Amino acid sequence: MLNNVPSGINRMRRNVVINHPNTWECQVFKKTVNRNGEPVVGGLPTLGGAMVLSSEDEESVSWEHVGSGYALEAETFSPASMTDRQDANIGPNVVRYLIEPEFPEGMEGHFFIRKHFVIYMVITDEVRVAYEVVDIETVMNVSPYATRFVMNRRSDLDLFD
């Protein structure tokens, strides 16, 4: 009974995200570390004798396509600093998006987004702009939570064909 409200909110959120005119199509990728038989210290992998702090320290990684979906920016414009020439603003370091997989939960092809996944916003067939999920937050205290994703720009991963 108690979770009827958040379940309804999640269904409404999915409909809004998929049908909103400002929604972007997106592609979701996860990083896979390509390691083979590397030494470990205390159960943790090493990198040439030094402890690996995160997957960013890895030399060889591959990207696995998790699925496609829809992304809608989930915050209003906030004041931002101007450039020295005052011809553009310097936006915030993080943005918040509502992201819905193409297939609803329970169907084949559904996936859950986790931290460090890379989301490509599909601008055109040739241009995809990359963001990395750095945090997942909710605005409700009752499960199932309505999540939004805090993301950083990853311009080093942008795709231009």
Assigned domain for 25 exists: yes
For residue 50, pLDDT beyond 70: no
Percent pLDDT > 70 in the chain is: 82
Assigned domain for 63 exists: yes
Domain count, the chain: 1
Assigned domain for 61 exists: yes
Confidence band, pLDDT 50/70/90 cuts, at residue 55: low
Assigned domain for 60 exists: yes
Per residue in 70-127, pLDDT (tens digit) is 999 988 767 778 888 888 777 677 889 999 999 988 889 899 999 999 999 999 989 9
User: What does the CA dihedral 13, 3, 133, 23 come to, rounded to 10 degrees?
Assistant: 0
User: At 41, which helix (H) or strand (E)?
Assistant: strand 40-41
Q: What is the arithmetic mean of pLDDT over 25-42?
A: 78
Assigned domain for 14 exists: yes
Assigned domain for 70 exists: yes
Per residue in 121-133, pLDDT (tens digit) is 999 989 999 999 9
Q: Is 109 left (phi over 0), alpha (psi -120 to 50) or beta?
A: left
Asked if residue 53 lies in contact with residue 47, where contact means CB atoms within 8 angstroms, the answer is no
Which residue has better confidence, 141 or 29?
A: 29
Tokens 């209003």 correspond to 76
pLDDT at 155: 87
Q: Which domain holds residue 133?
A: 4-33+46-160
Asked if residue 139 lies in contact with residue 38, where contact means CB atoms within 8 angstroms, the answer is no
Assigned domain for 146 exists: yes
Assigned domain for 38 exists: no
